[in-house]
Amino acid sequence: MLRIEDVKLAVVGLGYVGLPLAVEFGKKRPVLGFDINKRRIDELKEGRDHTLEVEDDDLAAAVHLRYSHDPESLAEANVFIVTVPTPIDKYKQPDLTPLIRASETIGRVLKRGDVVIYESTVYPGATEEVCVPVLESVSGLRFNEDFYAGYSPERINPGDKNHRVTNIRKVTSGSTPEVAELVDSLYADIIVAGTHKAPSIRVAEAAKVIENTQRDVNIALINELALIFNRLGIDTQAVLEAAGTKWNFLPFRPGLVGGHCIGVDPYYLTHKAQSIGYHPEIILAGRRLNDSMGSYVVSQLIKAMTKRRIQVQGSRVLVMGLTFKENCPDLRNTRVVDIVSELAEYNIDVDVYDPWVDPEEAVQEYGIKPVNEPAQGAYDGIVIAVAHKQFCEMGAARIRALGKPEHVLYDLKYVLTADEADIRL
């Protein structure tokens, strides 16, 4: 069994999750940061991170971190941490392709005594039912005899500069008690918030997948309340502020639910539940409601435009924000695209403005080309879809100046006060 002092670490996948982790380890021990994207490796070697998750100073401080896109370089490692994406496909089924490909890559260099730790979000059982068989098949080695596995779910919150990898408590687990201890000790070296050693890999997997499922269901409840209050002519934000004066009222807000976790993880859990013959009611109902919010927003905008006798067909609407959350460039699973596509169904000319996004990435991912600057006095409708700090700083007057003399301003994110916007969610 490996000793902690003999660990030669490699982090496989250097995105929003892998890079911050590799950097923190790289401040203390030799680490190989691996990614199949050569462009990503080149920018990191130049000391830049386009995701903005790691500052240039932190990159420079990781003096023991090396980067490579050559799979053969992984042969020097004996502990691998896998941090690749786990998305859903167009049918909302788990897409484990990146996880399987990473396991195949590691399997080709896997040696006796090695440990593979997964951080990617999966359904309970996936590590040992999907990933481990791939490692066995490619390497020819036997699980828990020749090599071992661990699972330590990521808890990265993109764009959050307060909750970082080191100050968020880490759940750890291993395929044997000895491996669990090694995995826990490895993470404890960098996690100042401490660790929680789960009794099994399956428990750790389940803990991760319910963290965001719980948030999804809570947001779905608030979204449904917003639909009710809108019909009653009551301002939802005012209701939530009043209810929030009670000490145990949870501070959720209505809105679009996207991103790499909350809008995805519940489908991993429901997939597994259905495979064992159980049909989840509450979880899937919450998903349906949250996924319908883009369509609801557009229907409210169209109704408001029609009441003001603004011609809908051929009109021009500005959507402010494209990322899945404020103050970060992350476009993964953003539900703002639902608004854009729904508006297009009405033959509306849509401009999308987001100072945080990479225009090339937006075109590649969604076929949306953001405008560099929105036109002044040009829009029949304006939708504030993301609460970027730039939009908050603009204020109502400057945002209104983008609209025609007669226009509708829809504020989804409570950037403005109730009397400054025409509609609030």
CA distance 254 to 293: 9
- Where b means 16+ CB within 10 Å and e means fewer, 203-212 reads ebbbbbbbbb
Contacts of residue 5, Cβ cutoff 8 Å, sequence gap at least 6: none
The residue assigned the tokens 């892998």 is 18
Judged by phi (left if over 0) then psi (alpha if -120 to 50, else beta), residue 11 lies in: beta
Interior/surface letters 21-35, b for 16+ CB within 10 angstroms, e for the rest: bbbbbbbebbbbbbb
The residue with tokens 């917003």 is 226
Burial degree of 349 (CB within 10 A; 0-12, 13-18, 19+): middle
Q: Which of 131, 261, 328, 392 is catalytic?
A: 261
Of 330, 315, 325, residue with least CA distance to 385: 325
In this structure, the number of other CB atoms found within 10 A of the CB of residue 391 comes to 23
Residue 261 falls in the annotated catalytic set? yes
Task: Please tell me the distance from the alpha carbon of residue 338 to that of residue 295, in angstroms, as a whole number.
Answer: 7
Residue 412 identity (one-letter amino acid): L
Q: Are 70 and 32 in contact (CB under 8 A)?
A: no
Both tokens assigned to 22: 């590799």
What residues contact residue 394 under an 8 Å CB cut-off, 6+ apart?
none
Distant-in-sequence, close-in-space partners of 23: CB < 8 Å, separation ≥ 6 = 54, 58, 59, 61, 62, 65
Nearest to 159 by CA among 296, 287, 52: 52
C-beta neighbour count of 304 within 10 angstroms: 17
Q: List Cα–Cα distances, 186 to 2, 180, 204, 386, in angstroms.
A: 11, 10, 16, 38
Residue 380 parent element (H or E): strand 379-384
Active site residues: 261
